[in-house]
Amino acid sequence: MLRLVRPLPARPIGRASKVCVSGGIGSGKSALTEALARLGAVRFDADEVLRQATGVGGVALPALREAFGSGVFASDGVLDRAALARVVFADASAKARLESILHPLVWEEMDRVVAGLTLAETLIAEIPLITETGNHGRFDVVIMVDAPVETRVERLAKRGMTEADARARIGAQATREERESIAHLWVENTGSPADLEDVARELWEILQSWDDGGVLCRPTMINPMSEKPLLPRDLVENPIL
């Protein structure tokens, strides 16, 4: 199900729009991002940016070595991701140092990609920890994907994760209420892959018609305050209506 959490802001002037897809582990955010990309969105892969930055010869390696020492590197100079993970998961200050090194690289690359897009294009970025890091202000619209904890645990088990690990990972992430506090649109991903494809098409129609506020009223989009179907003027903040 797709619902509105808060009105969309005015569409940006002078650049392509930036949309974040986020949600907890096992929520289905990657599947939704991929579906939107198939419909025409320009997908920005933050994970790929980080893989390149921390891979062999990556631009982040000197800063990581300086911050964390040679103990997070193998003898051949390759970053030992597992060793680095152990360090940052056990120390909040270490995690903050890591983020201060890596996050600027992601945002710089995203800005570069956006600068090369036409005004009519829409960038879709999957950012799993957007709530936790407080970077939602870098995007025009935040789409949050969620599902019940038990559903997410089942999905993670199919990926080979133990139930204990799955519950620990879920518990360490932002709560539903915290995610809702920054979301514009909310996807309750409890159905089939085909259902999620249908939601992606609805979202794409909204993002395509966002510029003039002419968003079609969808029976699945219910204003949580009024429990009435949304009208087009409810969906976009525009003082000239």
- Residues placed in the known binding site for ATP: 26-31
Sign for the CA dihedral angle at 212, 218, 220, 225 comes to positive
How far apart CA 89 and CA 200 sit, in angstroms, is: 34
Query: What would the two tokens of residue 113 be?
Result: 């990609």
Q: What are phi and psi of 135, to 5 degrees?
A: -95, 15
Strand partners, 21: 126, 143
- Residue positions forming the annotated binding site: 26-31
Amino acid of residue 190: T
Contacts of 152 (CB under 8 A, 6+ apart): 24, 25, 26, 27, 166, 170
As separate numbers, helices (DSSP H) first and strands (DSSP E) second, the chain gives 11, 6
